[in-house]
Amino acid sequence: MTTKNQTSPNLCRLCSGNLSPQFKLAVLGKHQIQYYLCEQCHSLQTEPAYWLAEAYSKNLSNLDTGAVQRNWHNFYVIYILCHIFKLKNLLDLGGGDGLLCRSLRDYEINCYVQDEYASPTYSQGFTEPDFESPDLVLAFEVWEHLPNPSPDLNKFFYKSPKMLLVTTAIYTDQGSDWWYLTPESGQHIFFYSHKALESIALQRGYELNIIENFILFIRKDCVSPFKLSIFKRSLRGKLNRYLKYKIMRKPATGVWKDYLQQKALEKSDPKSP
């Protein structure tokens, strides 16, 4: 085991509240790392993460066996959300290999993907948005990776999107055996409490909604209780299964449209992706 010789942090990286030590775990199987609880926002966090370069030597942890199924489930939820709220332009931040972005574009949802740690294998040519401000920002299993949430979260709320759809497991006083800590991967370093998420929404002028396993931030001027109620119902039971069936029966017309677009770009600029 190795331990970094540094001064222990005394302020929360999200709200600057005081920290109290909780437990230690072996991160990446060799770094003995202290986890802290914020006394103000009640979030859990590691000590400053000096091991991230090592943790991201590969962009997908071998422990993330649910990556593909999670992408498909997220696709259905986004498709339904976009059609209920009439959202057109999407930006998937931390979107990895771009599989979700490609799936959405297949069904003519104008999505772009950006990820500083991964190459958009499935969405090459769709990393620079053709819109000024997104209607919807996606951040699936991303926020728990942020080294300094206070400034890092700003890029997700940049240009005030109408909505943000986020997934990250919420910290509710779980212990050192909480599965979501995944110290073996070394990539999960900050764990938000419900109070912290409420504070994030309030500070930026959004309404917080926890729906199933999704965290939905809606800009205050875009809130529609009626549409939100429809969206919530569409994620449950028989209605959800029916909608999935209907969506998958639709032709993926975006595949051909994007192909023609990329071919046109190649002709106009041979150096384009």
If one compares 27 and 5, the residue with the highest pLDDT of the two is 27
Residue 38 main-chain phi, psi, to 5 deg: -80, 130
Output the CA–CA distances (angstroms, integers) from residue 97 to 72, 105, 136, 175, 238, in the order listed: 14, 14, 19, 32, 32
Q: Does pLDDT of 1 surpass 80?
A: no
If one compares 65 and 70, the residue with the highest pLDDT of the two is 70
Residue 138 domain-assigned (yes or no): yes
Residue 8 domain-assigned (yes or no): no
Which of 113-122, 194-203, 248-257, 259-268 has the largest mean confidence? 194-203
Range of the domain at 75: 67-249
Residue 78 amino acid letter: I
pLDDT (tens digit per residue) in 32-46: 999 999 999 999 999
Residue 40 domain-assigned (yes or no): no
pLDDT (tens digit per residue) in 126-185: 999 999 999 999 999 999 999 999 999 999 999 999 999 999 999 999 999 999 999 999
The mean pLDDT value for 56-66 works out to 66
Instruction: Give the number of C-alpha atoms closer than 13 A to the C-alpha of residue 216, restricted to the C-beta side.
Output: 24
Residue 235 domain-assigned (yes or no): yes
Residue 198 domain-assigned (yes or no): yes
pLDDT at 178: 98
Q: Does pLDDT of 78 surpass 60?
A: yes
CATH of the domain at 78: 3.40.50.150
pLDDT at 5: 46
* CA–CA distance, 134 with 208 (Å, rounded to integer): 18
Number of domains in the chain: 1
CB neighbours of 41 closer than 8 A, spacing ≥ 6?
12, 14, 15, 17, 193, 195, 196, 199
CB neighbours of 28 closer than 8 A, spacing ≥ 6?
51, 54, 55, 183, 184, 185, 186
CA 216 to chain CA mean position, Å: 11
Residue 104 domain-assigned (yes or no): yes
Output the CA–CA distances (angstroms, integers) from residue 126 to 78, 103, 119, 267, in the order listed: 18, 12, 11, 17
Residue 33 domain-assigned (yes or no): no
Residue 160 domain-assigned (yes or no): yes
